[in-house]
Amino acid sequence: MTQFDYDLFTIGAGSGGVRASRLSASFGAKVAVAEERYLGGTCVNVGCIPKKLLVYASHYGEDFEDLAGYGWTVGDRKFDWAKLIANKNKEIARLNGVYRKLLGDAGVTLFEGHAEVIDAHTVRVDDKNITAKYILVAVGSWPVVPRFAGSELAITSNEAFYLSELPKKVIIVGGGYIGVEFAGIFHGLGVRTTQLYRGELFLRGFDDDIRKTLADEMRKRGIDLKLTSEVTKIEKIGDSLRATLDDGSKLDAEQILYATGRDSKTPNLGLENAGVKLKANGAVIVDDYSKSSVDNVYAIGDCTDRMMLTPVAIAEGMALANTLFNNKPTKPNYVNVPTAIFSTPSCGTVGLTEQEARAENFKLDIYRTSFKPLKHTLTGRDERTMMKLVVDQATDKVLGCHMVGPDAGEVIQGIAIALNCGATKAQFDATIGIHPTAAEEFVTMRTKLS
């Protein structure tokens, strides 16, 4: 008989925590999970899934405009925000049920309540102490708004998914992928949209050609993109909000959404009781195997502040289960992780940016193309797709692929497989393209940029 109630106690039933728990149970471990909010975590409830549904909704406005070039005529149309949100909520509730069933079918015990670490082997949930050989922290992250005069009047992406009414005008503050995605969503739904970013160009860390191309495309669509701008104060003016910028100018809107960062959701978790070391932003410090400073306490996902992506959290969960319960020590792989931004138009990227490759002293061949998508030869829409390959001159190995254009995420997912297989530019060139598609451009680029 084990000296603990469970072999693994997971705090947080998001994508990473659920995967780690289910797989650990399949290896014979006795597992429990505690979740105080909603099953599925950020991704299912206030992240990837509802965001993508809203992105789909936002595209119909342009689709209606594009129909005329293809001979279609449509009559009066009206958008119902309340209906979209109700349908979205229904789907999220269904997914919550799916996660509950997955845990139950795997034999994982679910505790619905706040979990607090008492010591290195003990967790308290609703005044009940539970012991475990291993504790896994998978509590995710939470959006934060910097403190300044009137900052409490701003909302975050969390609240944006549940607005009772669609605002007529919105200000989005922040230049990360969440900011550009919501700018596209609101603009596509007919909202007058302004996006502010304190830097000279948004999407820091992405390839510069993605950043420049997307900024151009957003401005073409009518999004008011204000760079090198920062909000210093927010005031309530009647039914509106007024933002004062650092240059003294003022902007009015019905909603101001902050997408300037997320912190690990570790406060009130009691990790200090077990001696777990944290970063200044609350992130759990872990080694290559997701182990914290305490031998039997592990952490995965957003709360470790490594790579805040759902598939990465899932990979970390799988690696942890194999390490602890399958006698197969496994490190998560962070090389060539593909990423999509569901902006308008969308972006996809995998591997090194040109800037990263140059910083690592690679001698590079750069291939880049920009073209009007075939669809828009009849619609007349002024939109450009950009594709780019970053190639190591010495080995001909493709180091990075970057794209802005329709279905960029779908295209880059396949390219990521090639990069993980070490594909060379010659192998790209030897691959026959599918015509006519945008994706074929990745195997037909022959001219190097000077």
Residues 50 and 132 in one domain: yes
Q: What is the mean pLDDT of residues 23-37?
A: 97
User: Rounded to an integer, what distance in angstroms lies between the CA atom of residue 109 and that of residue 21?
Assistant: 10
Residues 137 and 188 in one domain: no
Residues 77 and 136 in one domain: yes
157: in domain:
yes
Burial 175-199 (b: 16+ CB within 10 A, else e): bbbbbbbbbbbbbbbebbbbbbbee
pTM of the model: 0.96
450: in domain:
no
Domain at 381, CATH number: 3.30.390.30
| Domain end call among 213, 229, 260 | 260
According to the model, what pLDDT value does residue 159 have?
98
Question: Is residue 269 helix, strand or coil?
Answer: coil
Domain at 30, CATH number: 3.50.50.60
1: in domain:
no
Q: What is the mean pLDDT of residues 44-56?
A: 98
Residues 102 and 203 in one domain: no
Q: How confident is the model at residue 2 (pLDDT cuts 50, 70, 90)?
A: low
Residues 133 and 10 in one domain: yes
223: in domain:
yes
210: in domain:
yes
Q: What is the pLDDT of residues 205-229, one digit of tens each?
A: 999 999 999 999 999 999 999 999 9
Residues 28 and 131 in one domain: yes
The total domain count for the chain is 3
Choose among 347, 382, 386, 345: nearest CA to 369.
386
Q: What is the pLDDT of residues 68-96, one digit of tens each?
A: 999 999 999 999 999 999 999 999 999 99
Structural domain range at position 200: 151-260
Q: What is the pLDDT of residues 229-249, one digit of tens each?
A: 999 999 999 999 999 999 999
Q: What is the pLDDT of residues 296-352, one digit of tens each?
A: 999 999 999 999 999 999 999 999 999 999 999 999 999 999 999 999 999 999 999
pLDDT at residue 1 is higher than 80: no
Active-site pick, 114, 187, 376, 435: 435
According to the model, what pLDDT value does residue 100 have?
97
Residues 21 and 84 in one domain: yes
Residues 214 and 307 in one domain: no
Instruction: Give, in order, the Cα–Cα distances in Å from 450 to each of 231, 364, 365, 366, 425.
Output: 40, 11, 9, 8, 17
309: in domain:
yes
Residues 131 and 158 in one domain: no
According to the model, what pLDDT value does residue 432 have?
98
Q: What is the DSSP string of 69-113?
A: GGT---------HHHHHHHHHHHHHHHHHHHHHHHHHTT-EEE-S
According to the model, what pLDDT value does residue 450 have?
84
Cβ atoms < 10 Å from Cβ of 173? 24
Residues 294 and 394 in one domain: no
pLDDT at residue 266 is higher than 80: yes
Q: How confident is the model at residue 41 (pLDDT cuts 50, 70, 90)?
A: very high
According to the model, what pLDDT value does residue 353 have?
98
Q: What is the mean pLDDT of residues 250-276?
A: 96
Q: Residue 198 contacts by C-beta under 8 Å, 6 or more apart in sequence? A: 175, 228, 229, 230
pLDDT-above-70 percentage for the chain: 100
Residues 254 and 267 in one domain: no
| Domain end call among 260, 289, 316 | 260
311: in domain:
yes
User: Rounded to an integer, what distance in angstroms lies between the CA atom of residue 56 and that of residue 59?
Assistant: 5
| Domain end call among 302, 325, 348 | 325
Average pLDDT, the chain: 97
Q: What is the DSSP letter of 303?
A: G
Residues 139 and 245 in one domain: no
According to the model, what pLDDT value does residue 172 have?
98
Angle between helices 177-188 and 208-221 (to 10 degrees): 20
Q: What is the pLDDT of residues 393-402, one digit of tens each?
A: 999 999 999 9
According to the model, what pLDDT value does residue 346 have?
98
List, in sequence order, every residue forming a beta bridge with 368; answer none if it has no partner. 388
Tokens matching residue 73: 């005529």
435 is catalytic: yes
